[in-house]
Amino acid sequence: MAVAPVVYGSSDRPPRGDYARARDNYTCDQDYASYTEVDHDTYRRLYARQASLLPGRACDAFIQALPALGASERIPRFDDINQRLMKATGWQVVGVPGLIPEVPFFTLLSQRRFPVTDWIRRPEEFDYIVEPDVFHDLFGHVPLLFDPVFADHMQAYGLGGLKAHRLDACEMLSRLYWYTIEFGLLRQAEGVRAYGAGILSSPGELQHAVQSPLPQRLPLDIERVMRTRYRIDSYQATYFVIDSFRELFDKTAPDFTPLYARVRQLPELDAGQV
């Protein structure tokens, strides 16, 4: 059955995906036959550019797992990735037509299923695209699903999202997603490295996040993250740094109910506030 498309934030055009293809849980089969040679070539070029920037900028766990996505010359088949991913951590990727609403999104994560947009950006959007596409979703998010601790954290996040929905706290939780899963940094022995998908799939932000003297880099503080607004249209002004995925898992494990209540009483912080 067809489901309604979703738009987050303000946009003057409708979302790209064809939601008529989606099942009730918003998933759809990867429409592999619909990819053109131009689509495959866009993926190949995006992958090559981004892979060349990873040494010294991406965290080790990401670099080690990246080959598990498969050949980089064509858009991978989700079924192919799933054979390896299922064995490694019990996760699967599932196709979606684009962004999906909060409850179906959290539900899929709670079932260890990661929704991946199946279409790819147009060549003229090579450097920048507003909505996530198959390159961002696969290249950015899927390698770390091969890491056992990160994989468990993603499922816990999904369960936490369903709870946040009941508590009307999704905005606070979405800031946590933004500053960790999308834009998180990890401290390794040699220095700070990226683990967030939004950083890892963006050439400009990868250099900015890891090497620029401009942004502030703070130790992960869940309460502070939940109070901090974020920017979707420019590089981040603040990044939050963890020492390990175990730290991320442990810091997000406590019951957030009292934290949500406290954060509601506190003023919001600007994205770049010092």
Q: Using the rule CB under 6 A, is 157 a contact of ligand PHE?
A: yes
Q: Using the rule CB under 6 A, is 204 a contact of ligand PHE?
A: no
Q: Using the rule CB under 5 A, is 100 a contact of Co ion?
A: no
Identify what 99 binds: ligand PHE, Co ion, none; CB under 5 to 8 Å per kind: none
Nearer to ligand PHE, 71 or 253 (CB): 253
Stretch that binds ligand PHE, among 75-83, 126-134, 181-189, 246-254 (CB under 6 A): 246-254
Distance CA 41, CA 123 (A): 9
Identify what 197 binds: Co ion, ligand PHE, none; CB under 5 to 8 Å per kind: Co ion
Instruction: Give the active site residues.
Output: 136, 141, 182, 201
CB of 17 to ligand PHE, least distance (A): 26
Q: Using the rule CB under 5 A, is 197 a contact of Co ion?
A: yes
Distance CA 71, CA 75 (A): 8
Rg (CA), the chain: 18
Residue burial 204-218, b: 16+ Cβ < 10 Å; e: rest: ebbebbbeeeebeeb
* List of long-range contacts for 47-50, beta carbons under 8 Å, 24+ apart: 47/72, 47/135, 47/139, 48/72, 49/203, 50/139, 50/200, 50/201, 50/203, 50/206
Hey, which residues between 111 and 150 contact Co ion (CB under 5 A)? 132
Q: Using the rule CB under 6 A, is 156 a contact of ligand PHE?
A: yes
Q: Using the rule CB under 6 A, is 252 a contact of ligand PHE?
A: yes
Residue 16 one-letter amino acid: R
DSSP letter at 66 equals G
Q: Rule CB under 5 A: which residues touch Co ion?
A: 132, 197
Residues that bind ligand PHE (CB under 6 A): 156-157, 160, 163, 176, 252-256
